Amino acid sequence: MPASPAQSTILPWAARRLVLIALLLLLAGLVTGCAQERYISRRSQPNNPLTAPLRLLSRAGPRPTPRTQQLLRSYDLESEQKENPQAALAHLQAQIALEPTPEKLCSYAELAYIQGKRLEASGNRKAALDLYGASVAHAYWYLLDPNLDLFRNPYDPQFRRACDLYNESLESAMRIVQKAGRLKPGEAQVIQTGTQQYVVDMRLSGPWRPEDLEKLEFVSDFELGGGLTNRHHTYGLGVPLIAVRRRREGESPAEKYYPPGLSFPVTAFLHVEHQTPDEAASGVHHCVLELFDPMYASNIEVASRLVPLETDLTTPLAYFLDHPAFRENDIATFGLLNPGKVQGIKGLYMVEPFDPNRIPVVMVHGLWSSPTAWMEMFNDLRAFPEIRSRYQFWFFLYPTGQPFWTSAAQLRDTLVEARTVLDPQGQNPQLNELVLVGHSMGGLVSRLQTIESGDSFWRLVSDKPLEELKATPAEQNKLAKSFYFHPNPAVKRVVTIGTPHHGSTYSNDYTQYLGRSLITLPEMMVEMSNKLIRENPGAFRNTDLLTTTTSIDSLSPKCPIFPVLNSSPRAEWTQYHNVIGVVPKKTWLGSVSEVGDGVVGQESARWEAAASEVAVPADHLVLQQHPLAILEVRRILLEHAASIDSVAAGPQESAPAEMR
């Protein structure tokens, strides 16, 4: 049956739109990619390094290690341990009182932990808590008692097992306390167990406050998905946790920059006080459970020695990135196809607390992307202590379907606003040392923060002075922000990665047609532009720059913006660095594309103004995630910090000739 007129109109357009979407998705040159894999998933069983050596999951139940069994035989306690574990522990404690040795303490901690697991499995949590506490205490004394310094051997495998016993016993105890709803930092808790009473002072150490915490999750409950390649975990004492932050509107100037669902790493460490026999007999134990932020403390002083903390920086980040409100797909797609939909959520985002003593690094994503494009680099960079001690990372989110000079105007306003909010007196020197890192189109957005426009950009649009246009003050102000600007004096370095400094050939007549068919510019922007053109006949020489231009149009090598951008005066205080991608010819992409990263040709990616330029064997989609690109950004950040320190130190006097 022939189609009705309505059907013949609708069906071809629907089919045509699907084809357009499919083709646009294939334009890898215009896409930085949308991660489909989950960042994190919950384990069926918590990760526990003692599972294998103690056979925690065996049907027969947990068993002591051969070394502990040997010690039990030495004191004729092996049979008693099997028949009456509590009595064996009491006899072993008596031997420790007579002659404390590392071997006895570690064995006691192991046996107490095993018995605690058995009791907990039988439902006797209070008695299990007693034994976990005893295990923590004995492992603590094994590791840190100064009286054992001459006998303790850090090269003995038993030393690491004592660390694991401390960590896992503490985690097991914390899980029981958490189930009772009593794991609350900032409060002192009196915890009554089977026979003991623990007075626990719970403290939060670092930039966050106890009232910032909504809940705590255990890192061991989760495993990473494919979203982040490297897991940055350090070994030591303590229980790595995920602290989920509670939103606190109006509490601090930086609050507006923290995204919903933000989580951060902490490590729980229990300080065990050494008790006299009489104090121990009373059954009352005083201790401090302290939660450390490993971004600020990866080592702590205990018993007059430096103790490394067990930390995990990556799992809390993955937990946050898996939060529905921060999923990449929705933000990236809306930002490309309908820029108006993300206007309300554009701006700066901080995923760590604002620190007035650290230099901001502002990371600017590219087309069809979002701040999550930077998470691989962010995860790796902050794993370097020398980087996280000097820098804090901010992320700029913007709708990528609009022309890049419009996004540059938004970043310009955002940086000014952030300075006003965070440093209203303008006295913070760290905020005068900004580093911008831009990938792809984000590099162009970043560059536009550092040049003097003069009249050059406006002359692309009109020869008529802006103030002579028939327009409202608001309309004139909007035009001025896009076409008249000055370099930001706070931006000291710009790093561009895979940036089309001279445009990309992937922006051509056909892709521009696709873009105009699918990308819907904000109605207010289009209406204002049409109104200005209508009310100022003959005033504009290039109306495309005001009306139909999308981000895809703006990246064309034929776009008149590029010659002006590349010839405009640059800030003398800003240093530029460039990273380009060169796909090996032996790969499929390298064999079918021009020399470059498969999207941006090598000649367009190169930039003569850069003080340094490196080539990385990676394609455009993953260039900012490549290890060599990450190491280059690290080098630049260290160089920047060294230059600041050199200026602060002042000129050094030359040494006398006889000392040279």
Q: What's this model's pTM, rounded to 2 decimal places?
A: 0.88
Angle at 55 between CA 50 and CA 59, to 5 degrees: 145
Residue 281 binned pLDDT confidence (cut-offs 50, 70, 90):
low
- From 217-231, 432-446, 467-481, 503-517, the region with the lowest mean pLDDT: 503-517
Give the pLDDT of residue 17. Answer: 43
In the chain, which segments carry CATH 3.40.50.1820? 327-646
Cα dist. 49→44, 55, 224, 314, 339 in Å?
15, 11, 17, 19, 48
Residue 419 binned pLDDT confidence (cut-offs 50, 70, 90):
very high
pLDDT tens digits for 549-576?
Answer: 677 778 888 899 999 999 999 999 999 9
Give the pLDDT of residue 592. Answer: 56
pLDDT tens digits for 42-80?
Answer: 999 999 999 999 999 998 889 999 999 999 999 999 999
Quick check: 103 and 151 in contact, CB under 8 A? no
Phi, psi for 247 (deg, rounded to 5): -70, 135
Who has greater pLDDT, 372 or 520?
Answer: 372
Cα dist. 500→367, 405, 514, 602 in Å?
12, 14, 20, 9
- From 68-82, 264-278, 477-491, 529-543, the region with the lowest mean pLDDT: 264-278
Beta-carbon neighbour count of residue 129 at 10 Å? Answer: 25
The answer, yes or no, to whether residue 404 has pLDDT greater than 50, is: yes
Give the pLDDT of residue 505. Answer: 73
Give the pLDDT of residue 13. Answer: 41
Identify residue 54 by its one-letter amino acid code. L
Residues composing the chain: 660
> Domain spanning 327-646 has what CATH number?
3.40.50.1820
Give the pLDDT of residue 193. Answer: 63
pLDDT tens digits for 337-360?
Answer: 555 555 556 789 999 999 999 999
The answer, yes or no, to whether residue 31 has pLDDT greater than 50, is: no
Q: Which value, in Å, is the radius of gyration of the alpha carbons in the chain?
A: 31
In whole angstroms, what is the distance from residue 379 CA to residue 313 CA?
Answer: 8
User: Shortest CA distance to 589 belongs to which of 623, 550, 618?
Assistant: 618
Who has greater pLDDT, 250 or 103?
Answer: 103
Residue 323 binned pLDDT confidence (cut-offs 50, 70, 90):
confident
Strand, helix or coil for residue 335: helix
Quick check: 274 and 257 in contact, CB under 8 A? no
The answer, yes or no, to whether residue 519 has pLDDT greater than 90, is: no
Strand, helix or coil for residue 199: strand
Tokens at residue 628, please?
A: 């060599």
User: Shortest CA distance to 409 belongs to which of 466, 338, 345, 485?
Assistant: 485
Per-residue pLDDT, averaged over 138-146, amounts to: 94
Give the pLDDT of residue 336. Answer: 52
Give the pLDDT of residue 504. Answer: 83
Give the pLDDT of residue 313. Answer: 97
The answer, yes or no, to whether residue 26 has pLDDT greater than 50, is: no
Mean pLDDT for the chain?
86
Per-residue pLDDT, averaged over 15-26, amounts to: 43
Residue 606 binned pLDDT confidence (cut-offs 50, 70, 90):
very high
Who has greater pLDDT, 619 or 504?
Answer: 619
Q: Starting at the edge strand that comes first in sequence, how are the strands of the sheet with 188-192 ordered?
A: 188-192, 197-205, 284-292, 263-272, 239-245, 213-218
Instruction: Kindly state the percentage of the chain with pLDDT values over 70.
Output: 83
Strand, helix or coil for residue 49: coil
